[in-house]
Amino acid sequence: MVQISEIKGVSRENRTAAHTHIKGLGLDEQGYARRVEGGFVGQEQAREACGVVVDLIKAKKLSGKAILLAGAPGTGKTALALAISQELGPKVPFCPIVGSEIFSAEVKKTEALMENFRRAIGLRIKETKEVYEGEVTELTPEEAQNPLGGYGKTISHVVVGLKSYKGTKQLRLDPSIYESIQKEKVAVGDVIYIEANTGAVKRVGRSDAYATEFDLEAEEYVPLPKGDVHKKKEIVQDVTLHDLDIANARPQGGQDIMSMMGQLMKPKKTEITDKLRQEINKVVQKYIDQGIAELIPGVLFIDEVHMLDIESFTYLNRALESTISPIVVLASNRGMTTVRGTEDIQAPHGIPSDLVDRLLIVRTLPYNYEEIRTIIEKRSIIEQSPATSAALDKLATHGVNTSLRYALQLLAPAFIIAKSNGRTEIDVSDTDEVEDLFLDAKRSTSILQQDQKFLA
How much is the pLDDT for 26? 83
- The answer to whether the predicted template modeling score (pTM) of the entire model surpasses 0.85 is no
Q: What is the crossing angle of helices 411-420 and 428-437, to 10°?
A: 120
pLDDT by residue, tens only, the chain of 456 residues: 556 555 555 444 445 667 766 777 888 888 888 888 877 888 889 999 999 988 887 887 776 678 999 988 888 888 888 888 888 877 788 888 888 888 876 778 888 888 888 888 888 888 777 888 888 888 888 877 766 665 667 777 888 888 888 888 888 888 788 888 888 888 888 888 888 777 788 888 888 877 765 554 556 788 888 878 887 777 777 888 888 888 877 655 554 554 544 555 555 555 678 888 888 888 888 888 888 888 888 888 898 898 888 988 888 888 888 777 888 899 998 888 888 888 888 888 889 988 888 888 999 988 888 988 988 888 888 888 888 999 999 999 988 888 888 888 888 899 999 999 888 888 999 898 998 889 888 888 888 888 777 665
DSSP 159-222: EEEEEETTEEEEEEE-HHHHHHHHHTT--TTEEEEEETTT--EEEEEEEGGGTT---SS---EE
Question: d(Cα 108, Cα 105) in Å, to the nearest integer?
Answer: 8
pLDDT of residue 12: 44
Sequential DSSP letters for 314-365: HHHHHHHHSSS--EEEEEE--SEEEPBT-SS-EEETT--HHHHTTEEEEEEP
Q: Measured between alpha carbons, how far is 250 from 263 in angstroms, rounded to an integer? A: 9
HSE (side-chain half, CA atoms, 13 Å) at 257: 0
Separation of alpha carbons 223 and 219, rounded Å:
13
Give the domain 124-291 fold: OB fold (Dihydrolipoamide Acetyltransferase, E2P) (2.40.50)
Yes or no: say if 255 and 220 are a contact pair by the CB < 8 Å rule. Answer: no
Decide whether 124-291 matches 369-455 in CATH topology.
no
What are the residue ranges spanned by the domains of the chain?
A: 17-120+298-364, 124-291, 369-455
Which residue type sits at 328?
V
Measure the CA–CA gap between 182 and 198, rounded to whole angstroms.
17
- What is the DSSP-derived secondary structure letter of residue 403? -
**In the prediction, which pLDDT does 62 show?**
74
| Cβ atoms of residues 349 and 306 within 8 Å | yes
In this prediction, residue 77 carries a pLDDT of: 87
CATH number for the domain running over 17-120+298-364: 3.40.50.300
- The 10 Å CB-count burial string (b at 16+, else e) for 161-189 is bbbbeeeeeebebeeebbebbeeeebeee
Q: How many CB atoms lie within 10 A of CB 138?
A: 14
Predicted local confidence at residue 251, as pLDDT: 56
Instruction: Confirm or reject CATH 3.20.20.450 for domain 369-455, answering yes or no.
Output: no
